[in-house]
A and B are shown apart, each in its own frame.
Chain A
């Protein structure tokens, strides 16, 4: 994203979309994120019962975030893209040992982010009782390849 042209997210394949998100997370910009949101944007966090309606409010929320919390680093674990549906899995590191798994269900409309539903899940230790049916996997060991088609 060069600041002039707003990319059409629906035209992105999996690799481009992943790169786009990684660049956005590396240098957080409320303005850049605002630019790729639809006018009817809604973000929901069901765990806290919070809904942010409209991309203006979302931008204000994001601009205010650093005043209240240290911006975390976000790593994309996996991104699945199918016909205007992006399902992103990530790992969010808030520092001081606080790390959460995250998942975002994102629906696109007219090339922009329209519906964005986010969940934040704490890591937990694998219980011993079920180890006979389970194999351990590394944090980056998602088995699914990224689908190259948008």
Chain B
């Protein structure tokens, strides 16, 4: 599997992405994830959340938290500690379902994020996030395992 990386400098943070009314592709989702973090770092929370429908539901199962509605999501994100950078590892997309795997860093410590996004009419209507910490590979299984960039 060829691992792909972010779009880097080619990313156009200020241009709205025309995804309305059709299936969102993997490249577009990748751009959207990048754009979201770039715009949040820039303090433009409205632009960062363009791809969310007004009635979006965001769920964090690890803490059993649900955010209902784009307004609440925006308010929460505005109150969140800022400046987080994001490296998109992989995007997998079929029809109205897009899964983004990316790494964010707090004080250099990586957190592996999986975002399961369900689209309707080009907007995200439901998104489920998981936040996973790194762990050390157990030695006992090393005979079947190859190392990959983590």
* Interfacial residues, chain A to chain B (CB-CB below 8 A): 42, 44-53, 57-58, 60-61, 64, 67-68, 77-78, 80, 82-85, 87, 89, 101, 103, 105, 107, 115, 117, 119-127, 129-130, 133-139, 141-144
B145 CB contact (under 8 Å) in A47, A52, A129: A52
Shortest Cβ distance from A59 into B: residue = B144
Contact call B68/A49, Cβ cutoff below 8 A:
no
From DSSP, what is the main secondary structure of chain A's interface residues?
A: mixed
B132 at the interface (CB under 8 A from A): yes
Question: How many of chain B's residues have a CB under 8 angstroms from any CB in A?
Answer: 51
The answer to whether B133 and A47 touch across the interface, beta carbons within 8 angstroms, is yes
Q: Per-position contact with A for B51-71: 1 when CB-CB < 8 Å, else 0?
A: 000000101011111111000
Q: Which residues of B contact A80 (CB under 8 A)?
A: 97, 116, 118
Question: Is A49 in contact with B99, judged by CB distance below 8 angstroms?
Answer: no
Contact in complex: B135, A48 (CB < 8 Å): yes
Which chain B residues border A85 with CB–CB below 8 Å? 92-94, 97, 99
Interchain CB contact (< 8 A) of A137 among B66, B92, B93, B134:
B66
A-contact bits for B1-23, CB 8 A (1 contact / 0 none): 10000000000000000000000
Q: In the complex, what's the smallest C-beta–C-beta distance from A127 to chain B, in angstroms?
A: 8
Give the distance in Å from the alpha carbon of A129 to the alpha carbon of B90 in the complex: 31
- CB of B141 within 8 A of CB of A82, answer no
Q: Is the CB of B150 within 8 A of A135?
A: no
Q: Which residues of A contact B118 (CB under 8 A)?
A: 80, 144
**Can you list 16 pairs linking A and B with CB atoms under 8 Å apart?**
A46-B101, A47-B134, A58-B144, A89-B128, A101-B61, A119-B101, A119-B112, A119-B132, A120-B135, A121-B62, A122-B132, A133-B76, A134-B67, A136-B64, A136-B66, A137-B66
Verify A101–B130 contact, CB threshold 8 A: yes
B75 at the interface (CB under 8 A from A): yes
B84 to chain A, nearest CB (A): 15
CA gap between A133 and B92 in the complex, in Å: 29
In the complex where A47-B135, A49-B148 touch, is A122 in contact with B66 (Cβ < 8 A)?
no
